[in-house]
Structure 1
Amino acid sequence: MAEQPQPGAGEKRGNHRGEGRRRAILNALHDCIIEQGYARTTLADIARKAGMSPSHLLYYFDGKDAILSDYFQRVGNRIVARMQSFLSEPPSRQIELLSDLFFAGKGITRFEIGFMLECFGVAVHDTRLHGEKAELDRACKACLRELFRAAPSRERARDCAEIGYALLIGLRTAAFFDRELGPLKARELFRNEMYSLAGLAPDGSDACTAAGN
């Protein structure tokens, strides 16, 4: 079989430039959303922030929704990667790490939480983003199932994962809008309910054993 040609130095530099410009466009979307929200942001706004014309931007993305989709995938992939990195830990430690990740700003910024929530709203009517949101949900719940399979509640792992994910999304959303709740109180509620679902006492021991003692 003939050896496949390797890209030349010029092609490699072009690829690096292309990725750099894509990042500039994603950063521009980030800034526009902070300033005026996604709904009010136009393609021209993003292009201006990225330092290029709208026609030049369209060389890298099909449109505004495609930029949002790419950004959503990148943030979502990072969230899932962090959750997967916790799976080697005991269930109690995983609960603490998840609580910190989503409610204490240890790995996900408040902006990224807000961005993801805004994407969830867009995904209701956007077919492509709807599919990506569903894939993110599946990946996150798969991580939670593994957590519960390693806990005393292992026989109910699938149901516990569904409930745990609903708690995560619900409390994280509420904490974003409700100042009286806030992320720290939401973290406490999430943490306590996750321990309960897992059948664990807050010190990580089996809740039934702890109750018997």
Structure 2
Amino acid sequence: MADTPGAGWVSTSTDEFDETTEEIMRAVYRALSKNGYPETTMAEIASEFEKSKGLLYYHYDSKEAILNDFFTYLCQRLQSSLIEESYEDPYERLLAVVDRILPAAIDDEQLEFRQALFEVRSQAPHNRSYYEQIRRSDRIILETLTETIQQGVETGRFADVDPERRAELLFSTLYGIMERGAALGDRDLVERNREMVRVRLERTLLA
């Protein structure tokens, strides 16, 4: 069996490899959404994989290995999407990040996937690899929020606040809303609180 691929395998530029990566990652997504973290096994992922099952087992020999690459893949997509989004107005960019964490409309599969992700996050204190991946994804979002708020303060669009502390508070609020909504399976809770966050930002952050 081949060595388990790492982040470099996910980021390869070979077209055929990219296609295989995408299909494996989509299979992981579907398996997690349907089964949750505890019940997702290599067999469940293989059943969602549209290509040869042998191809999946050739690249991965454990659930932890494939999830590590899945988290790397998610982080790369998150970082790329945040870089690609271009807004002249820092407030519009800030709202776009809020909408990415708390979507305006979230369907059952998206909610179930977030439930699975929170189950994975609960393993972080006991799994160093998961811990590092979670820290990386959190850092990407926090840095984006901090830079956006800093830009708003410097241009006079936002009130004179501490960008790092405000970003930390905002991210913790958004995360808490999504975690609670996912745990309760309550899309309305997510949508209601998303609107309250937007109102609060308008009242307390805009200059």
Query: What's the secondary structure of 1:59's corresponding residue?
Result: helix
The aligned residue for residue 43 of structure 2 is 44
- The structural deviation recorded for 1:112 is 4.7
- The structural deviation recorded for 1:16 is 4.7
Give unmatched runs, 5+ long, in structure 2.
1-13
The amino acid across from 2:179 in the alignment is T
Aligned-pair identity in percent equals 20
The amino acid across from 1:68 in the alignment is L
CA distance in 1, matches of 2:169, 2:145: 10
Q: How many residues align?
A: 185
From the superposition, tell whether residues 167 and 91 of structure 1 become closer, same or farther in structure 2 (CA, over 3 Å): same
Query: What's the secondary structure of 1:176's corresponding residue?
Result: helix
CA distance in 1, matches of 2:123, 2:189: 24
Residues 1:74 and 2:70 are matched in the alignment: no
Name the structure, 1 or 2, with higher relative contact order (CA <8 Å, separation 6+).
2
* RMSD, aligned α-carbons: 3.0
The amino acid across from 1:136 in the alignment is S
Residues 1:191 and 2:198 are matched in the alignment: yes
- The structural deviation recorded for 1:185 is 0.5
Q: Is the 8 A contact 1:87 1:146 kept in 2?
A: no
The aligned residue for residue 128 of structure 2 is 127
CA distance in 2, matches of 1:65, 1:191: 37
CA distance in 2, matches of 1:18, 1:77: 16
CA distance in 2, matches of 1:74, 1:106: 24
CA distance in 1, matches of 2:96, 2:111: 17
TM-score (norm 2): 0.72
Q: Is the 8 A contact 1:145 1:157 kept in 2?
A: yes
CA distance in 1, matches of 2:138, 2:77: 13
- The structural deviation recorded for 1:87 is 5.9
The aligned residue for residue 34 of structure 1 is 33
Question: Between Structure 1 and Structure 2, whose CA radius of gyration is higher?
Answer: 1
Write the deviation string for residues 74-116 of structure 1: whole angstroms up to 9, x where unpaired.
2233233333445633232123323332323579944553443
CA distance in 1, matches of 2:104, 2:74: 14
CA distance in 2, matches of 1:160, 1:87: 22
The amino acid across from 2:202 in the alignment is Y
Residues 1:145 and 2:152 are matched in the alignment: no
TM-score (norm 1): 0.71
Q: Is the 8 A contact 2:37 2:117 kept in 1?
A: no
| Aligned with 2:165 (options 159, 165, 174) | 159
